[in-house]
């Protein structure tokens, strides 16, 4: 029988529970000044001495007593008897109270003539000008900024007492292998505690990653009892669900209390909050994006209760490009790509699979869909939390449409100019839709019309009258990929892997099938869909399918056979209104660059004759 979560708690209730269930007293440690950047002061930092400790000359010149200069004027030059030559930074002699710049002095040996009276304290850096002994330099709970190290060093501070907290991380799961080992089928690299360590260390926590523990209740219990002694917080990675191999909750219950098992968030529902000897023990779910959500929504706020504060992310209001459905009663967090198209922000949800870590890599924002809602509608303006600075988000270049491996190369080249290419693989028709709704900067496509032309017929039909610029990326070869040289005519005899509906490549296949009088239903695997050329080639390489349809470069990169079907025109379509956008300009320049053509040539299967060529519609 499958165990159920006894009682799923809302995120809001969990926040209250964290505050009331733990005392949250941080540890402190002394770190060398050089290592203190970004750390949070545990106590106020007090200057050990005044800077300067004594009056200093602020200029090269002579030190004087102002009363002996008072009668000097252009008409009445005075030769001083008691003036003393002094350089910037030298100590002003006792009873002297001003410095006259050397430029204003006529010097002959030790005799100095002046033509202007000195004002008291002129050109002197008085004792304590910068800071006085015992003055507070920084309060406690201050996050030290890099440039502050100059002042702290100058004031005699060589080490700083900062907040920390010891966090023990226990990876559990018999399927885990250590970093650096190549996982066998069904194994996974233990990565969640690596991620957790990186996130928690960034605010000053000291993380200890304990050895991996296999799915054995007594071993897990043993690991927790050791870690709870050595740390203020323990995080048990995985095993927090309610399946037959999920032992975390029982282990915590055995050693203390389970306060929460199941939180109404998605991803991340199977999280556990326990308490052992007064200390929090968190069960962090095993799916990477569940773990990430629990780290951000549960564990980070817990650390903040100890004074280890995370920077508050920025938010933007953005127009949602596709509907998000969810169940009422759960706060759902959706990773997204956001960017500014023209003068409006748009935001596109990424894959919501809890195992798809690439969503976290690709995301520059996320949405929280609150528990009382069933979702958000396409076109709705939603508050979006940025995972980068606003400035970086403004550098996002949104590309929506047909996928090609060269998009990665464009992304790579554009990064040099600070631009972040976000590519959504929506297929050529998806690109047309995004263009229509003005939700991307450029839409790559390769849509073959009956007259043999590419793209223009579709654009005229779906975007009539719009001013568009088409930029040719390349002519590219599509064909049948296989391990042993299967041709298009033979595919009916083999298992096949297809592309998603709306992709130009699938439309090409359908076009060719129709031309050849072949019924799709006879192709075994026609309904098996993947979304990139490389994914097609990988399915063939792994033996899942015998054949598929993709571009030459994808077949070549995996060392597979390729039998061409046709050459097509792969173009970027851009609204003319965006042609002056610096990101779009950089994109077009990159496509037209010699370096890019050379990359296309080295990949193979691309005809670069027309690369970079523009034409305009209508």
How far apart are the C-alpha atoms of 423 and 468, rounded to whole Å?
A: 20
Q: Which stretch binds a second copy (CB under 8 A): 142-150, 221-229, 442-450, 606-614?
A: 142-150
Closest CA to 435 of 422, 444, 446, 425: 444
The one segment of 226-234, 304-312, 459-467, 601-609 that binds a second copy by CB under 8 A: 304-312
Q: Which of 23, 75, 81, 103 binds a second copy (CB under 8 A)?
A: 103
Would you call 132 helix, strand, or coil by DSSP?
coil
Q: Which stretch binds a second copy (CB under 8 A): 118-126, 226-234, 342-350, 571-579?
A: 118-126
| Three-state helix/strand/coil letters over 266-317 | ECCCCCEEEEECCEEEEEECCCHHHHHHHHHHHHHHHHHHCCCCCCCCCEEE
431 Cβ contact list (under 8 Å, min separation 6): 400, 401, 402, 440, 443, 444, 445, 573
The C-alpha R_g of the chain, in whole angstroms, comes to: 34
Give the residue, chosen from 141, 489, 585, 615, that forms a contact with a second copy under the rule CB under 8 A.
141
CA–CA dist 160, 141 (Å, integer) = 12
Least Å from the CB of residue 265 to a second copy: 16
Nearer to a second copy, 71 or 361 (CB): 361
Which residues, 525 to 584, sit near a second copy by CB under 8 A? Answer: 527-528, 530, 532, 534-535, 538-539, 541-542, 544, 557-558
Select the residue interacting with a second copy from 12, 25, 136, 328 (CB under 8 A): 136
Residue of 608, 573, 616, 568 lying closest to 592 (CA atoms): 608
Q: Which of 100, 264, 265, 295 touches a second copy by CB under 8 A?
A: 295
CB environment 536-553: b (16+ within 10 A), e (fewer): bbbbbbeeebbbbbbbbb
Residues in the chain: 618
Of 326 and 533, CB closest to a second copy: 533
Q: 389-408: which residues touch a second copy (CB under 8 A)?
A: 389-392, 408
**Is residue 524 involved in binding a second copy (CB under 8 A)?**
no
- Asked if 366 contacts 383 with a C-beta cutoff of 8 angstroms, the reply is no
Residue closer to a second copy by CB (options 133, 250) is: 133
CB-wise, 398 or 435, nearer to a second copy? 398
Q: Which of residues 14-43 bind a second copy (CB under 8 A)?
A: 33-34, 37
The stretch near a second copy (CB under 8 A) out of 189-197, 218-226, 266-274, 376-384 is: 189-197
Q: Report, in Å, the least distance between residue 517 CB and a second copy.
A: 26
> Which residues within the stretch 265-294 sit at the binding site for a second copy (CB under 8 A)?
288, 291-292
Of residues 149-178, which lie at the interface with a second copy (CB under 8 A)? Answer: 149-156, 158, 175
We find the least distance from the C-beta atom of residue 441 to a second copy, in angstroms, to be 17
CB atoms < 10 A from the CB of 219, how many?
14
> How does 107-124 read in b/e, with b if 16+ C-beta sit within 10 Å?
eeeeebebeebbeeebbb
CA 590-591-592 angle, 5° bins? 90
In the bound state with a second copy, the residue whose beta carbon lies nearer, of 27 and 614, is 27
Q: How many residues bind a second copy, per CB under 8 A?
A: 121
Phi, psi of 7 (to 5 degrees): -160, 110
Least distance between a second copy and beta carbon 509 (Å): 18
Pick out residues in 39-68 that bind a second copy (CB under 8 A). 44, 48-56, 58, 60
Q: Residue from 182, 343, 452, 521 that binds a second copy (CB under 8 A)?
A: 182
Nearest one of 2, 479, 88 to 270, comparing CA atoms? 2
* Beta carbon of residue 200, minimum distance to a second copy (angstroms, whole number): 9
The interface mask with a second copy, positions 311-350, x = CB under 8 A, is xx-x------------------------------------
Query: Which two three-digit tokens encode residue 323?
Result: 């509907």
């Amino acid at each position: 029988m499958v165990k159920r979560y006894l009682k799923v708690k809302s995120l809001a209730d969990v926040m209250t529970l964290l505050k009331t269930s733990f005392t949250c007293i941080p540890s402190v440690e002394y770190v060398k000044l050089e290592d203190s950047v970004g750390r949070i002061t545990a106590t106020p930092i007090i200057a050990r001495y005044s800077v300067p400790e004594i009056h200093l000359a602020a200029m090269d010149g002579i030190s004087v007593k102002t009363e002996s200069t008072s009668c000097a004027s252009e008409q009445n030059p005075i030769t001083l008897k008691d003036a003393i030559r002094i350089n910037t930074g030298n100590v002003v002699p006792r009873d002297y109270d001003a410095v006259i710049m050397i430029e204003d002095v006529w010097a002959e040996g030790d005799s100095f003539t002046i033509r202007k009276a000195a004002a008291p304290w002129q050109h002197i850096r008085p004792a304590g000008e910068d800071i006085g002994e015992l003055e507070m330099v920084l309060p406690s709970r201050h996050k030290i900024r890099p440039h502050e190290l100059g002042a702290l060093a100058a004031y005699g501070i060589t080490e700083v007492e900062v907040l920390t907290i010891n966090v023990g991380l226990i990876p559990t799961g018999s399927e885990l292998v250590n970093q650096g080992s190549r996982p066998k089928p069904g194994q996974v690299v233990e990565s969640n505690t690596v991620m957790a360590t990186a996130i928690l260390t960034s605010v000053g926590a000291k993380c200890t990653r304990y050895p991996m523990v296999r799915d054995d209740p007594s071993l897990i219990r043993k690991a927790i009892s050791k870690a709870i002694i050595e740390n203020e917080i323990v995080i048990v990675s995985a095993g927090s669900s309610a399946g037959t191999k999920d032992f975390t909750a029982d282990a915590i219950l055995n050693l203390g209390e389970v306060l929460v098992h199941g939180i109404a968030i998605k991803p991340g529902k199977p999280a556990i909050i326990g308490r052992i000897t007064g200390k929090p023990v968190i069960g962090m779910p095993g799916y990477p994006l569940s773990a990430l959500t629990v780290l951000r929504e549960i564990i980070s706020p817990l650390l903040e209760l100890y004074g280890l504060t995370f920077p508050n992310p920025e938010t933007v209001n953005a127009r949602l490009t596709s509907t998000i459905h969810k169940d009422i009663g759960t706060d759902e967090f959706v990773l997204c790509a956001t960017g500014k198209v023209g003068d409006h922000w748009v935001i596109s949800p990424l894959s919501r699979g809890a195992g798809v870590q690439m969503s976290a890599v690709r995301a520059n924002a996320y949405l929280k869909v609150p528990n009382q809602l069933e979702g958000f509608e396409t076109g709705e303006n939603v508050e979006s939390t940025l995972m980068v600075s606003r400035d970086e988000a403004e550098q996002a270049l949104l590309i929506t449409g047909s996928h090609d491996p060269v998009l990665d190369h464009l992304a790579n080249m554009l990064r040099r100019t600070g631009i972040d290419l976000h590519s959504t693989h929506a297929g050529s028709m998806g690109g047309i839709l995004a263009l229509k709704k003005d939700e991307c900067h450029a839409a790559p496509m390769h849509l073959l019309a009956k007259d043999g032309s590419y793209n223009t017929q579709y654009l005229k039909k779906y975007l009539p009258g719009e001013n568009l610029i088409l930029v040719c990326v390349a002519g590219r070869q599509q064909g049948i990929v296989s391990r042993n040289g299967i041709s298009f005519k033979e595919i009916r005899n083999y298992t096949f892997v297809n592309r998603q509906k709306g992709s130009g490549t699938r439309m090409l296949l359908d076009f060719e099938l129709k031309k050849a009088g072949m019924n799709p239903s006879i192709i075994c695997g026609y309904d098996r869909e993947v979304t990139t050329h490389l994914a097609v080639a990988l399915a063939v390489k792994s033996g899942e399918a015998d054949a598929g349809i993709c571009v030459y470069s994808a077949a070549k990169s995996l060392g597979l056979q390729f039998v061409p079907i046709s050459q097509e025109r792969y173009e970027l379509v851009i609204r003319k209104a965006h042609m002056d956008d610096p990101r779009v300009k950089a994109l077009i320049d990159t496509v037209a660059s010699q370096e890019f053509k050379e990359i296309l040539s080295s990949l193979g299967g691309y005809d670069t004759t027309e690369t970079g060529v523009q034409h305009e519609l209508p």
